Amino acid sequence: MFVIESKCERGFLLLIVAAFLLLALPAFGQQDYVSQFDVYAGYAFLDSPAISLFENGFATQFGFRPKTWLSAGFDYSISTGNGTLTPGLLTTALQQALAAQLAKLAAAGLLPPGYNVVMPIHSRTQTFAAGPQLAYRHFKHETLFLRPLFAGAIFERATPQPTDPIAAAIATQLAPSGVKTDTTWFVGVGGGFDILATRHFALRTQTDVVWDHLFSDLLRNGRWTVRFSVGPAFNFGKNIQH
């Protein structure tokens, strides 16, 4: 069973609070113009508490609206940052092999007293996702939206950055080429809101939570990742409001 860490919970809480604040705003009539397409680009961060990985980056989206309340779209993000691996995150087989190696070093007097293996990593992550989005357009200048379920692929390139000779030897075993890459599927949910400055321009704020199991040959468990993103959205195409 996986538990979303406090940062994940705070992200959802902020989104929920923002949504209620928008619901509390006076309505000045429903939106009379809803474009057929929208495109978004802005700042994004990924937070994976299980491996202490925090990455800053960029996200972009393209959406098609067959209905005023329904969109279908594609999403891409890229981000980089630093995290930490510890033995407890590894598969059982790797933990046992590592413990045996450390025991041999200790018996030979080569292991410093109280030594703990900690492996800093630098990561670059790319995500590709698609799915439906439901919109609530009761307010003239605000649109609330929900992504009930979306799926995609995540590609990650991790570079170990050992800080001592023992960690360096372990890193060579885990990633002989100096880097470790993996691609896998993920599923997630999310939502957010647009503040509509004009018919064609909005400020978008959104939060998504996804689950994946990258590097399953090394890591025992999958992980939850929160993505927060904010930036401008542009609406274009014919008006589909009827």
Q: Could you report the per-residue pLDDT of 17-56, keeping only the tens digit for each?
A: 454 444 444 444 578 899 999 999 999 999 999 999 999 9
Question: What would the DSSP string read from start to end of 34-101?
Answer: -EEEEEEEEEEEEEEGGGTEEEEEEEEEEEEEEETTEEEEEEEEEEEEEEEE-GGGB-HHHHHHHHHH
Exposure string over 45-82, b if 16+ CB within 10 A, otherwise e: bbbbbbbbbbbebebbbbbebeebeebebebebbbebe
Strands, E, within the chain: which ranges?
35-48, 53-67, 70-85, 119-136, 142-160, 180-196, 201-212, 223-239
User: Looking at residue 18, what is its pLDDT?
Assistant: 52
Question: SS3 of 207, please?
Answer: strand
Rounded to two decimals, the pTM is 0.84
3-class secondary structure, 214: coil
In this predicted structure, the answer to whether residue 12 has a pLDDT above a threshold of 80 is no
Q: Taking residues 97-120, report their average pLDDT.
A: 93
pLDDT of residue 13 exceeding 60, the answer is no
End-to-end CA distance of the chain: 46
Asked if the model's pLDDT at residue 224 lies above 60, the reply is: yes
Task: Decide if pLDDT at 68 tops 90.
Answer: yes
- Stretch 165-191: mean pLDDT: 95
What would the pLDDT profile of 200-211 be if each residue is shown by its tens digit? Answer: 999 999 999 999
Rounded CA-CA distance 40/60 in Å is: 5
Pairing mode of beta strands 35-48, 223-239: antiparallel
Residues 6+ apart with CB under 8 A from 200: 35, 234, 235, 236
Which CATH class, in words, describes the domain spanning 6-86+114-239? mainly beta
pLDDT, residue 29, reads: 57
Could you give the CA distance from residue 70 to residue 140 in angstroms, rounded to a whole number? 17
Q: Residue 23: what pLDDT?
A: 47
CA 228, chain centre distance (Å): 7
Those residues with Cβ within 8 angstroms of residue 60's Cβ, 6 or more apart along the chain or in another chain: 39, 40, 41, 42, 75, 76, 77
Which tokens go with 31? 């939106």
Please state, in angstroms and rounded to a whole number, the distance separating the CA atoms of residues 165 and 17.
48
